[in-house]
Amino acid sequence: MMIKNLLLVGSGGVLGACLRYLLSLLCVTYLGTDFPFGTLLVNVLGAFAAGCFFELFRVLQDPEAYRLFCMVGFLGAFTTFSAFSLETVHLFIAEKYGLGFLTIVLNTTLTLLFAWLGFFVTRYFLLKWGFV
């Protein structure tokens, strides 16, 4: 059982890390490096997905295999609090205080908002489709 769980978490993590890397590259390519758009994007998308998965798995009686793959593995590797923290410190060291505070405000408020939004959007569709 433990091997199966580790494989679920690991395979979800591989996919999450690869997608995070690709989205970060796209942001750097198209939006530049002055602001950490890639980290903000993956954290906001990950928060939305976490809200969706939370409600979906709650209604589906929390199938552990899906939760391990999606929440622990995929979202654990896809989102990044450590990168957000380090990029914010670098902005302050570079004396870009406005951008530093902006990244703090955007990462905290948008991730909370999108987690809430993901939860309620999923609840809406589950109710509409008769799962609840």
pLDDT digits (tens, 9 = 90+) for 69-111: 999 999 999 999 999 999 999 999 999 999 999 999 999 999 9
- DSSP 8-state assignment for residue 32: -
pLDDT band at 1 (very low <50, low <70, confident <90, very high): confident
pLDDT value for 40:
98
Alpha-carbon distance of 33 to 24, in angstroms, equals 10
Query: Are 97 and 28 in contact, with CB atoms under 8 Å apart?
Result: no
Question: Whole-structure pTM over 0.85, yes or no?
Answer: yes
Q: For residue range 10-54, what is the model confidence (pLDDT) as tens digits?
A: 999 999 999 999 999 999 999 999 999 999 999 999 999 999 999
User: Residues with Cβ < 8 Å from 61, sequence gap 6 or more?
Assistant: none
What domain count does the chain have? 1
Q: With the C-alpha atoms ordered 36, 41, 42, 44, is the resulting torsion angle positive or negative?
A: positive
pLDDT per position as a tens digit, 99-110: 999 999 999 999
Nearest alpha-carbon partner for 72 in 61, 57, 84:
57
Range of the domain at 23: 2-128
* pLDDT greater at residue 94 or residue 58: 94
Give Dmax over CA atoms of the chain in angstroms. 53
pLDDT in the model for residue 86: 96
pLDDT of residue 63: 85
